Amino acid sequence: MGSTIGKMGMATETMASNQQINSIVVNDKSNCDFVYYAICRAFPRYLAEVGVQAVPILSKSNFEKLPNYTTCREEQDKIGYFLNLLDERIATQNKIIEKLETLIKGIVDF
């Protein structure tokens, strides 16, 4: 089992993590969906900062130094909402595809 870097998630409740996790706490000046998608988009740039070793690590101090670009809160709200809707639509379409594949498999096996 190899080590991985770059898995992301968004907490919907207060939580704690260990020192191997870089956590971002979004304040009222930023939209949490916008921040999530902005970091997802910037992640290939972040990988350049990862030390080459058996277990890839992006230290907290290096993570804090990475540039992040933003826009006004109104635009963040619109962008975050739109990207969240797209993700929900993709998830819905994936469920439909899975159900159709199951149906096709059932018909073929019949």
**Rounded to the nearest 10 degrees, what angle do helices 73-109 and 32-47 cross at?**
80
Coil, strand or helix at 57: strand
Higher pLDDT, 53 or 87: 87
Scanning the structure block, which residue is given the tokens 């439909």?
96
When pLDDT is cut at 50, 70 and 90, the band that residue 1 belongs to is: very low
Q: Report whether 20 contacts 63 (CB < 8 A).
A: no
Domain range summary for the chain, segments of one domain joined by +:
32-109
Q: Report whether 39 contacts 30 (CB < 8 A).
A: no
Q: What is d(CA 81, CA 75) in angstroms, rounded to the nearest whole number?
A: 10
Determine the average pLDDT of the residues in 59-65. Answer: 74
The whole-number pLDDT of residue 64 equals: 76
pLDDT greater than 60 at residue 61: yes
pLDDT greater than 80 at residue 4: no
Coil, strand or helix at 96: helix
What's this model's pTM, rounded to 2 decimal places?
Answer: 0.61
Coil, strand or helix at 39: helix
How confident is the model over 96-108, as pLDDT tens digits?
999 999 999 888 8
